[in-house]
Amino acid sequence: MDHLYRLTTLPSGARIASVEMPHMRSVAVGFWAGIGGRHESLEQNGISHFLEHLLFKGTKARNARQITESVEGIGGYLNAFTTEDHTCYYAKAAVAHFGALCEVLSDMYLRSQFPKAEIEREREVIREEILMYRDQPSQHAQELLTETLWPSHPLGRPLTGTLETISHLQRADFIDYRRAHYNARNTIITVAGPLPHERVVAEFSRLLRTLPAGHSPRYTRARLPKQPAQVRVHTQDTEQTHLAMGFHAFGRADSRRYALKLLSVILGENMSSRLFQKLREQRGYCYHISSSMVALADSGALCISAGLDMAKLKSALQLILKELHAICTKKPGADELRKARDYAIGITLMGLESTTNQIMWMGESMLGYGKILDPGEVECAIRSVTPEEIQAVACHCLHRSRLGVAIVGPSKDAAAIESWIAG
């Protein structure tokens, strides 16, 4: 699959990336601000996510309902999300409505007004969002895991903030935060669809004229805690026990990231994986078990999550640790590695058939690497990973000193769980 990515930097510093997809009938547009949870102070925790909500709540030209109707009323889709290091606003519609999408997103990004009544209303909405996540044991386990992996660091805080921190944020805080971070040097526009790059640049050269130059934010680097395996248990009356495990890894620019990706695939990213086969198919310990990667500029993690009966937790934990030890002591076979490579490459390339996934690829590439990654080069890098490299990454990452464990369920005995892990 060949994609011709184009990139233009405006005089202000804003970057515009696009890929022309002549066979498509839709166009997707993304606005990326290089600001997220890891840039927040303790008192600001949750402000990036709160601000994301507020950009939908009214501009000089549109109220909240008119913003959504401007996109949904033409058969389009509008959404946003906040991560540890960026915030993204994106929309998709038929290509005939490209101009309308650009206008609505630019209006939100540049001219949101933050009405006080909307701030108070949204404060309650986010409060309910925080409580909703607490009521979802698997989500709560993930939040506890991040806190365990990155204690006393912005990366260990919830992206939504806490009930306490969001209660203190005021209109002036949002205005100052937007002014400081939603600037040209910290903004990337991505567009995918049947449009030439020149038209995309012309559209945003006009719409972004008033975006100030500004500068990129700084953040506190993550450091590997010098501690034995940490276990967090939240006792809750649930039918299942929800397990989240994470091992500290390296940053996304590390050359070993492709070996780590294949290690994750082999362990638990699909139904053919070792953990899925051993724990679900052979033992019936759980319905869900999976592995995934966290990739940040200066840090990362390999995570494993599962939901199972409390009575099976000890056996499941010990079997997981046994499988992790096995891949450290014996490199994967040629057939297993081939299947993992084909899966990782296939998922990536199939995803890039979508205009939405294309804008995500460009935005995340630009924010993470300062350039658009070539899918062909990524494919070659994945295909070049050897069994020895996967084993070496496993030995490096899957060490008990790098482990954090979070459990949400009826268990009350963290010491017992620590002994299972140590044993």
Catalytic positions are 52
* Whole-angstrom distance, CA of residue 268 vs CA of residue 302: 11
* Whole-angstrom distance, CA of residue 235 vs CA of residue 230: 16
Cβ atoms of 155 and 38 within 8 Å: the answer is yes
Can you say how many angstroms the Cα of residue 30 is from the centroid of all Cα atoms in its chain?
15
Q: Which 3 state secondary structure label does DSSP give 211?
A: coil
What are the CA-CA distances from residue 116 to residues 53, 58, 166, 171, 373 (Å)? 13, 11, 14, 7, 42
> H helices within 7-62, ranges in order?
47-54
* Whole-angstrom distance, CA of residue 190 vs CA of residue 48: 20
What are the CA-CA distances from residue 13 to residues 33, 187, 214 (Å)? 13, 8, 9
Task: For 243, list phi and psi in degrees, rounded to 5.
Answer: -110, 130
Q: Are strands 77-82 and 26-33 parallel, antiparallel or unpaired?
A: unpaired
For residue 8, give both structure tokens: 């233009």
Task: For 104, list phi and psi in degrees, rounded to 5.
Answer: -65, -50
Cβ atoms of 93 and 75 within 8 Å: the answer is yes
* Whole-angstrom distance, CA of residue 20 vs CA of residue 94: 14
* Whole-angstrom distance, CA of residue 421 vs CA of residue 415: 10
* Whole-angstrom distance, CA of residue 364 vs CA of residue 173: 27
* Whole-angstrom distance, CA of residue 375 vs CA of residue 1: 8
Left, alpha or beta for 251 (phi > 0: left; psi -120 to 50: alpha)? beta
Closest by alpha carbon to 268, among 314, 316, 305? 305
* Whole-angstrom distance, CA of residue 395 vs CA of residue 312: 27
Which run of H or E residues covers position 176? Answer: helix 171-181
For residue 43, give both structure tokens: 């008192």
For residue 172, give both structure tokens: 């002036």
